[in-house]
C-alpha cells in the first residue's frame, strides 16, 4: 500500500525558494520560480521577506517573486518592486512583472507612481533588451489600476503577448 506524501507547505516552499547550487542552473531556477509562485498562492505573510529577497534574481525567479508579491498585495513590497522596475540592468520581463505586480496591488502601490511615470516616459525603442513595448504597456496598465481600481485590464485577452506574466 502506498502512503501519501504530504503536500509541500510554507517551510518547504521557503526552503526551495532559498536553494542555491554552484552553477545556479536553469533547473534550479525553475524550481525556485515554482516555489515563489506557490508562496504567492499560499499568501502567508512570512513569505514576503523571502520573496522580496528573490527580486534580486536576474530573471525567471524575479518574475515569479514579483507576481507573487503582487498577488499578495504586500505593502512592504511596493518599494522593492519599484526598484526592480527602475533597474536598468534587469531584462524587460522582470521589469514588466514588477509593473504588473504593482498594478495588481491597486491603491496600495500609490507610492510607486513616480517610478511608474518615469518608466512610462522611457524611450523603449532605444533601450534594447532592457525594455520592451510589452513592459511599457504593463506600466501604463499598472498606472491605470493604481489611479482607478475599477479600470479594465488592458493586458487581458491578448493571446500569448502577455503570457509571461500570467495573462
CATH code for the domain in which residue 44 is found: 1.25.10.10
Question: What is d(CA 166, CA 123) in angstroms, rounded to the nearest whole number?
Answer: 25
The answer to whether residue 113 sits within a structural domain is yes
How big is the chain, counted in residues?
Answer: 167
State the alpha helices, DSSP H only, in the chain. 10-18, 26-42, 48-54, 60-72, 78-86, 92-105, 113-120, 133-147
The pTM for the full model equals: 0.88
Say how many domains are in the chain. Answer: 1
pLDDT of the chain, 167 residues: tens digit per residue? 444 555 578 888 889 888 876 555 767 888 999 999 999 999 999 999 999 999 999 889 999 999 999 999 999 999 999 999 999 888 889 999 999 999 999 999 999 999 999 998 887 777 666 678 888 899 999 999 999 988 888 887 776 777 777 76
The answer to whether residue 99 sits within a structural domain is yes
Residue whose C-alpha is closest to residue 163's, from 30, 21, 67: 67
Residue whose C-alpha is closest to residue 59's, from 12, 26, 86: 26
The answer to whether residue 48 sits within a structural domain is yes
Residue span of the structural domain in which 41 resides: 10-165
Question: What is d(CA 61, CA 35) in angstroms, rounded to the nearest whole number?
Answer: 9
The answer to whether residue 1 sits within a structural domain is no
Question: What is d(CA 160, CA 166) in angstroms, rounded to the nearest whole number?
Answer: 9
The answer to whether residue 19 sits within a structural domain is yes
Residue whose C-alpha is closest to residue 139's, from 161, 154, 151: 154
Question: What is d(CA 98, CA 138) in angstroms, rounded to the nearest whole number?
Answer: 9
The answer to whether residue 70 sits within a structural domain is yes
Residue whose C-alpha is closest to residue 104's, from 136, 63, 144, 145: 145
The answer to whether residue 4 sits within a structural domain is no
Task: Say if residue 8 is exposed, middle or buried (CB neighbours under 10 Å; 0-12, 13-18, 19+).
Answer: middle
Digit-coded pLDDT (tens) for 123-167: 777 766 667 888 889 999 999 999 998 888 888 777 677 777 776
pLDDT of residue 2: 45
pLDDT of residue 161: 74
Question: What is d(CA 95, CA 134) in angstroms, rounded to the nearest whole number?
Answer: 10
The answer to whether residue 101 sits within a structural domain is yes
Amino acid at each position: 500500500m502506498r502512503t501519501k506524501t504530504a503536500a509541500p507547505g510554507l517551510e518547504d516552499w521557503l526552503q526551495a525558494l532559498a536553494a542555491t547550487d554552484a552553477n545556479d542552473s536553469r533547473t534550479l531556477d525553475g524550481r525556485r520560480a515554482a516555489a515563489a509562485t506557490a508562496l504567492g498562492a499560499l499568501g502567508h505573510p512570512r513569505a514576503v521577506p523571502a520573496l522580496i529577497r528573490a527580486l534580486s534574481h536576474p530573471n525567471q525567479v524575479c518574475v515569479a517573486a514579483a507576481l507573487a508579491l503582487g498577488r499578495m498585495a504586500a505593502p512592504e513590497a511596493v518599494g522593492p518592486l519599484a526598484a526592480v522596475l527602475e533597474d536598468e540592468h534587469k531584462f524587460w520581463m522582470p521589469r514588466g512583472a514588477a509593473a504588473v505586480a504593482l498594478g495588481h496591488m491597486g491603491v496600495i502601490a500609490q507610492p510607486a507612481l513616480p517610478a511608474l511615470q518615469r518608466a512610462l516616459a522611457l524611450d523603449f525603442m532605444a533601450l534594447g533588451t532592457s525594455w520592451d513595448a510589452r513592459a511599457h504597456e504593463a506600466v501604463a496598465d499598472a498606472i491605470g489600476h493604481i489611479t482607478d481600481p475599477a479600470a479594465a485590464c488592458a493586458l487581458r485577452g491578448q493571446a500569448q503577448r502577455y503570457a509571461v506574466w500570467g495573462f
